Amino acid sequence: MARETVVFLHGIWMVGAEMSLLRHRVERCGFETCQFRYQSLRKTPRENAAALNGFLHRIDADIIHLVGHSLGGIVILHLFRHFPDQKPGRVVMLGTPVQGSQVADQVQDTGWMKPVLGRATEQGLLGDAPRWESTRELGMIAGTKGFGVGLLLTRGRLPQPHDGTVRLEATQTSGLTDHLAVPYTHSGMLFARPVAQAVCQFLKTGQFT
- Per-residue confidence (pLDDT) for residue 12, from 0 to 100: 95
pTM: 0.95
Query: Binning pLDDT at 50, 70 and 90, where does residue 176 land?
Result: very high
What is d(CA 54, CA 42) in angstroms, rounded to the nearest whole number? 18
Average pLDDT over residues 63-81: 98
- Per-residue confidence (pLDDT) for residue 85, from 0 to 100: 96
Of 44 and 2, more confident? 44
Average pLDDT over residues 72-93: 98
Distances (CA, A) of 97 to 23, 33, 56, 72, 175: 22, 24, 23, 10, 15
- CA angle (133, 95, 41) in 5-degree steps: 85
pLDDT digits (tens, 9 = 90+) for 17-53: 999 999 999 999 999 999 999 999 999 999 999 999 9
- Per-residue confidence (pLDDT) for residue 151, from 0 to 100: 61
What is d(CA 161, CA 159) in angstroms, rounded to the nearest whole number? 6
**Ordered structural domains, the chain, with CATH:** 4-205 (3.40.50.1820)
Torsion, Cα of 204, 5, 95, 184 (10° steps): 70
Query: Binning pLDDT at 50, 70 and 90, where does residue 194 land?
Result: very high
pLDDT digits (tens, 9 = 90+) for 118-163: 999 999 999 999 999 999 999 999 999 987 666 666 666 778 899 9
What is d(CA 198, CA 139) in angstroms, rounded to the nearest whole number? 10
pLDDT digits (tens, 9 = 90+) for 89-108: 999 999 999 999 888 877 77
